[in-house]
């Protein structure tokens, strides 16, 4: 699969990663952390509604919902990133993303705003071990005191670990 | 035209094929367009196999459809084209420019033939010459001199009034009144026609004399004589023309000297050299009786019983001016055909369906929230909501029905085809269909028709033996071809079965080796049968116009794979074969039974539900302390607790699963233990894999009335699970 090839290359040669070109990012909160994703991947933002559970799926896959007649899986990023709490209240929102022609909903604590970032404002992400594979972090955005973790949501969601997509052999 | 066709069919085969004509015409049009495009793109020096195969397949598809519907002229021409193309793709002869020219011309003629079958006006050139050229080319001989393409699409120049035809005139039935017969055109024995040519108004009437020179310069164009003795009347000039060329060609020629708008051609009666009354037809052209003489089903009945046909036609045109009855009929028919269907992209329909689904949910929500308002105070609002509910329901029904059509529409095409085919092959065939009411997405139906046609033809041609052979083998004289459709798990299964001779393993292996395919003796049966899907692979000894070129199965496989489906072959030599076509359910309506387990709802396909009953826990016995079984009507069957299969979280322990639903699939039965039966309803099957992945034991999902998603169980997989 194209996406996983891409990540495989990244893993071997992290140093050749192209510097971030900047752009517009949708920022959201997961626990205490603030993340940013490419606005162009976002289809819409919805309030959370309990999905239909799918048996024997990993815990971060909450199930599927009906999005105007389309069956869409819901991934809870907080469970995926080992946040302390994952509450479902009236502020909990679902960011509906369109990645590689597929529609996926991701649960986050709250959506903050849309920020335009220049390439200069983006620092490379440090190589480190965390719940999120560092290859999926494209950079760290700095806005005053705020630190924005810029995520490669496309590759994260289509990675084999997520199990969202059947791996084609 | 329709009356004639329907008459013909109903009296001879009992099936009305005309409902499928439109699909065929559309498909054939697409195929011809594709063929033309390929022909134009092809590089003569280095034509690659894929291109040649594509052209071949286009011609083949058109031929198949035309033969099914009895458009013999189309089938004949495509058959000749196919012979040529077949040699080309086998590299027996090298492609050349004349070949491309001939094939393009053939394409034009085919289009005009199809247009005529469709009921539009316009003349069709005699394909005899072209057929001869194609034959010559396929025999490797240089081409005969071809005249310029004789056929063009029906002229569309709005200001040019054409009253013409080249079709041979049959004796006019006495029932046709005089005015219409007067409008009829006569053809001279050699096929030439007498026309009155009106030119003008011209600023310089002398310009028109150039037209006379034109006839002198161009051989075979015909003759022209002045009717006005060289004098103009208000700038108008009149000529009499005797020619074999069609009007549009003449006008093309005349346009060198005078503009098209100034040319008028009027058909003259042979005896009647006096200027015929100018008939303004507003685009509806006069057609002679018997114009559709070679339409399917029409010929024998129509000519045997002209009065019956006429009565039908007259009732159809009651109220219309009889003088142009025939012409009007042709014209209105063509118009009706054009507007009767609309081809819309599947995406648009899908979008519509999704939007309506959303609307239904919104409406349900409104209804829920407005339940408690006082109808006295908000009378209009309540009435409005009621209207909304009704309209929404109607809208949903109509939108859903756009896409779903029963398999019967496909199956109904076959009895007639098989009947003709069996007669041609001198075989006796019985045709059995099962599951005609299985509803299938329209998009799939359209695309599955061709492959199924190929499969059924193959069964009849290669599978079923001759009656003598069958009797000698101890079989019934009648071969049986069965077409069966059913929902199975997450797919639709269409089977084409015959009890003929089956596939011969040795023959296939031998053929494969001849073609350079690596085929060891140890090859598994499944792989051997799959050999027939290779392009150009045929075990038939004789190439007929029915099958045997080895193109059919290749196309079948390609088309079905393109639909995301699969084809499997099962065969026993001497006993018959079965081709199973499995197609995904992109959108199919299914009768479902909804059951509750804990807080969750699952859907069981109703077709697989055998019975349900309340069960006492102590009736469930164990085998080896693990496997649980229950006795139902003296049969022990495995018990599956849906709660365990799907790890359903349970909050209310008082309400334990106490309902047993016996389901059946793949020849096995299991008893599913559920909490509650919620009801039966039609559900729209949605694909989970579009945005997610395959889920074990689940064939798809559906959206319930409240907008929530419910999973549809894959009974086949549950039955398999119980076996392990």
- The residue-averaged pLDDT of B580-608 equals 80
Which of B350, B490, B586, B691 to probe the A interface (max A CBs under 10 A)? B691
How far is residue B297's CA from residue B293's CA, in Å, rounded to a whole number?
9
Q: Name the residue with tokens 């794979």.
A: B561
Look at B647 and A102 and tell me if their CB atoms are within 8 Å.
no
Look at B647 and A56 and tell me if their CB atoms are within 8 Å.
yes
Look at A104 and B703 and tell me if their CB atoms are within 8 Å.
no
Look at B709 and A68 and tell me if their CB atoms are within 8 Å.
no
Which of A64, A104, A159 to probe the B interface (max B CBs under 10 A)? A64
Q: Which of residues 39-78 of A touch B (CB under 8 A)?
A: 51-57, 63-66, 68-73
State the virtual CA torsion across A15, A153, A79, A148 in degrees, nearest 10: 70
Whether B348 has its CB under 8 Å from any CB of chain A: the answer is no
Q: Which of residues 6-25 of A touch B (CB under 8 A)?
A: none
Q: Which residues in chain A are contacts of B708 at CB distance < 8 A?
A: 52, 65-66
User: What three-state secondary structure class fits B88?
Assistant: helix
Statement: residue B718 has pLDDT above 80: yes
How far is residue B402's CA from residue B411's CA, in Å, rounded to a whole number?
19
Residue B107 pLDDT? 84
Q: Which residues in chain B are contacts of A164 at CB distance < 8 A?
A: 692-693
List, for residues A151-165, the tens digit of each pLDDT value: 888 888 877 767 776
Residue B707 pLDDT? 76
Burial class from Cβ neighbours inside 10 Å (0-12, 13-18, 19+) for residue B427 reads buried
| Beta-strand relationship, B162-163 and B263-267 | parallel
More reliable by pLDDT, B615 or B120: B615
Cα B382 to Cα B127, B366, B370, B509, distances in angstroms: 68, 11, 8, 74
Residue A104 pLDDT? 92
CA max distance for chain A: 46
List, for residues B325-342, the tens digit of each pLDDT value: 343 444 444 444 445 677
Whether B365 has its CB under 8 Å from any CB of chain A: the answer is no
Among A28-32, A107-111, B112-116, B280-284, the minimum mean pLDDT is found in B280-284
Assess whether the previous peptide bond of B301 is cis (omega < 30° from 0).
no
- The residue-averaged pLDDT of B106-114 equals 84
Cβ proximity of B263 and B251 under 8 Å: yes
Predicted TM-score (pTM) of the model is 0.46
List, for residues A42-86, the tens digit of each pLDDT value: 999 999 989 999 988 888 899 999 887 788 999 998 887 777 777
Residue A45 pLDDT? 93
Burial class from Cβ neighbours inside 10 Å (0-12, 13-18, 19+) for residue B366 reads middle
Strand order in the sheet with B668-674: B609-614, B659-665, B668-674, B635-641, B627-632, B620-623
Range with the largest mean pLDDT of B182-186, B228-232, B439-443, B719-723: B719-723
Structure confidence at residue B258 as a pLDDT band (50, 70, 90): confident
List, for residues B131-162, the tens digit of each pLDDT value: 888 888 777 765 444 444 433 444 433 433 43
More reliable by pLDDT, A132 or B83: B83
The HSE-up count of residue A29 (CA atoms within 13 Å, CB side) is: 13
Cβ proximity of B335 and B22 under 8 Å: no
| Beta-strand relationship, A61-67 and A42-47 | unpaired
Tell me how many degrees the CA angle B460-B464-B467 measures, rounded to the nearest 5: 120
Segments in B317-439 forming alpha helices (H): 325-340, 346-369, 379-403, 408-411, 414-425
| CB within 8 Å of B15: residues ≥ 6 apart | B9, B412, B415, B416
Structure confidence at residue B79 as a pLDDT band (50, 70, 90): confident
How far is residue B671's CA from residue B638's CA, in Å, rounded to a whole number?
6
The HSE-up count of residue B325 (CA atoms within 13 Å, CB side) is: 22
Residue B660 pairs with which residues in a beta bridge? B613, B673
Question: b/e for B349-360, b at 16 or more Cβ within 10 A?
Answer: bbebbbebbbbb
- The residue-averaged pLDDT of B346-362 equals 77
List, for residues B415-443, the tens digit of each pLDDT value: 878 888 888 888 888 888 898 888 877 77
Q: Compute the mean pLDDT over every residue in chain B, rounded to the nearest whole number.
A: 72
Cβ proximity of A39 and A24 under 8 Å: yes
How far is residue B1's CA from residue B694's CA, in Å, rounded to a whole number?
51
Residue B482 pLDDT? 92
Statement: residue B536 has pLDDT above 80: no
Strand order in the sheet with B479-488: B429-434, B479-488, B491-498, B576-584, B566-572
- The residue-averaged pLDDT of B38-57 equals 78
List, for residues A93-125, the tens digit of each pLDDT value: 999 999 888 899 999 988 988 988 888 888 888
- Would you state the structure tokens that stand for residue A115, as one six-digit string? 């920020």
As a whole-number percent, the residues of chain B with pLDDT over 90 amount to: 3
Structure confidence at residue B172 as a pLDDT band (50, 70, 90): very low
Look at A73 and B648 and tell me if their CB atoms are within 8 Å.
no
Task: Output the 3-class SS for B37-65.
Answer: HHHHHCCCCCCCHHHHHHHHHHHHHHHHH
What's the complex ipTM?
0.80
Question: How far is Cα of residue B12 from the mean position of the Cα atoms in its chain?
Answer: 22
Residue A79 pLDDT? 84
Look at A102 and B693 and tell me if their CB atoms are within 8 Å.
no
Residue A97 pLDDT? 93
């Amino acid at each position: 699969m194209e996406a996983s090839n891409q990540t495989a290359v990244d893993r071997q040669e992290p140093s050749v990663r192209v510097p971030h070109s900047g752009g517009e990012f949708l920022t959201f909160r997961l626990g205490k952390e603030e993340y940013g994703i490419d606005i162009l991947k976002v289809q819409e933002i919805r309030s959370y509604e309990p999905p239909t559970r799918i048996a024997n799926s990993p815990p971060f896959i909450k199930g599927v919902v009906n999005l105007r007649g389309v069956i869409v899986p819901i991934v809870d990023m907080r469970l995926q990133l080992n946040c302390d709490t994952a509450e479902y209240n009236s502020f909990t929102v679902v960011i509906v993303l369109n990645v590689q022609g597929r529609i996926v909903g991701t649960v986050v604590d709250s959506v903050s705003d849309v920020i335009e970032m220049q390439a200069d404002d983006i620092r490379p992400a440090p190589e480190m071990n965390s719940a999120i594979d560092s290859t999926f972090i494209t950079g760290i955005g700095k806005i005053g005191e705020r630190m924005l973790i810029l995520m490669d949501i496309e590759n994260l969601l289509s990675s084999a670990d997520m199990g969202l997509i059947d791996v084609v052999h | 035209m329709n009356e004639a066709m329907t008459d013909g069919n109903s009296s001879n085969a009992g099936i009305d094929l005309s409902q499928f004509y439109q699909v065929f015409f559309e498909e054939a049009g697409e195929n011809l367009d594709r063929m033309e495009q390929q022909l134009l793109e092809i590089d003569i020096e280095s034509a690659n196999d894929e291109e040649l195969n594509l052209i071949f397949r286009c011609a083949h598809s058109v031929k198949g459809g035309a033969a099914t519907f009895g458009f013999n002229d189309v089938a004949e021409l495509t058959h000749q084209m196919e012979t040529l193309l077949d040699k080309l793709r086998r590299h027996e002869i090298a492609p050349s420019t004349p070949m491309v020219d001939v094939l393009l011309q053939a394409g034009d003629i085919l289009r005009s033939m199809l247009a005529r079958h469709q009921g539009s006006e316009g003349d069709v050139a005699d394909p005899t010459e072209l057929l001869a050229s194609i034959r010559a080319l396929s025999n490797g001989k240089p081409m005969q001199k071809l005249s310029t393409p004789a056929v063009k699409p029906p002229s569309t120049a709005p200001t040019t009034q054409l009253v013409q035809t080249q079709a041979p005139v049959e004796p006019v039935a006495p029932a046709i009144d005089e005015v219409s017969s007067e409008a009829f055109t006569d053809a001279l024995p050699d096929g030439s026609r007498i026309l009155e040519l009106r030119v003008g108004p011209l600023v310089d009437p002398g310009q028109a004399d150039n037209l006379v020179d034109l006839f002198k310069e161009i051989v075979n164009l015909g003759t022209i004589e002045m009717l006005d003795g060289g004098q103009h009347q208000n700038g108008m000039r009149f000529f009499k023309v005797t020619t074999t060329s069609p009007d549009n060609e003449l006008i093309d020629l005349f346009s060198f000297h005078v503009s098209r708008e100034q040319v008028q051609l009027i058909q003259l009666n042979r005896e009647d050299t006096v200027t015929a009354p100018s008939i303004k037809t507003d685009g509806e052209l006069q057609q002679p009786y018997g114009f559709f003489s070679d339409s399917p089903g029409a010929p024998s009945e129509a000519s045997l019983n002209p009065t019956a046909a006429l009565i039908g036609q007259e009732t159809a045109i009651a109220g219309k001016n009889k003088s142009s009855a025939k012409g009007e009929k042709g014209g209105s028919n063509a118009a009706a055909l054009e507007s009767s269907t609309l081809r819309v992209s599947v995406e648009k329909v899908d979008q519509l369906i999704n939007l309506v689904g959303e609307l239904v949910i919104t409406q349900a929500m409104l209804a829920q929230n407005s339940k408690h308002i006082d109808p006295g105070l908000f009378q209009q609002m309540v009435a409005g909501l009621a209207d909304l509910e009704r309209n929404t329901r109607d809208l949903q029904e109509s939108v859903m029905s756009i896409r779903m059509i029963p398999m019967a529409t496909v199956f109904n095409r076959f009895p007639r085809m098989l009947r003709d085919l069996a007669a041609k092959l001198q075989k006796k065939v019985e045709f059995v269909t099962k599951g005609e009411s299985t509803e299938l997405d329209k998009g799939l139906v359209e695309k599955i028709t061709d492959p199924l046609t190929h499969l059924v033809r193959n069964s009849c041609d290669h599978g079923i033996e001759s009656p003598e052979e069958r009797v000698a083998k101890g079989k019934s004289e009648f071969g049986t071809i069965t077409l069966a459709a059913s929902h199975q798990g997450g797919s639709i299964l269409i089977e084409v079965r015959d009890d003929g001779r089956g596939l011969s393993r040795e023959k296939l292996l031998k053929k494969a080796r001849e073609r350079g395919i690596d085929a060891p003796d140890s090859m598994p049966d499944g792989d051997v049968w799959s050999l027939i899907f290779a392009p150009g692979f045929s075990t038939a000894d004789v190439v007929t116009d029915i099958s045997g070129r080895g193109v059919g199965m290749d196309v079948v496989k390609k088309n079905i794979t393109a639909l995301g489906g699969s084809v499997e072959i099962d065969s026993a030599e001497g006993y018959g074969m079965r081709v199973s076509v499995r197609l995904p359910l992109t959108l199919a309506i299914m009768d479902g039974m909804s059951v509750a387990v804990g807080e969750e709802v699952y859907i069981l396909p109703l077709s697989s539900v055998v019975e349900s009953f309340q069960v006492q826990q102590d009736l469930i016995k164990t085998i080896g302390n693990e496997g649980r079984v229950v006795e139902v009507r003296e049969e022990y069957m495995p018990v599956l607790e849906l709660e365990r299969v799907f790890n359903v979280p349970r909050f209310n322990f008082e309400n334990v699963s106490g309902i047993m639903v016996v389901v059946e699939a793949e020849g096995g039965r299991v008893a599913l233990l559920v909490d509650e039966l919620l009801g039966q309803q039609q559900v729209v099957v949605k694909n989970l894999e579009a945005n997610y992945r395959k889920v074990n034991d689940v064939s798809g999902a559906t959206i319930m009335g409240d907008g929530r998603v419910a999973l549809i169980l894959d009974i086949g997989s549950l039955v398999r699970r119980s076996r392990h």
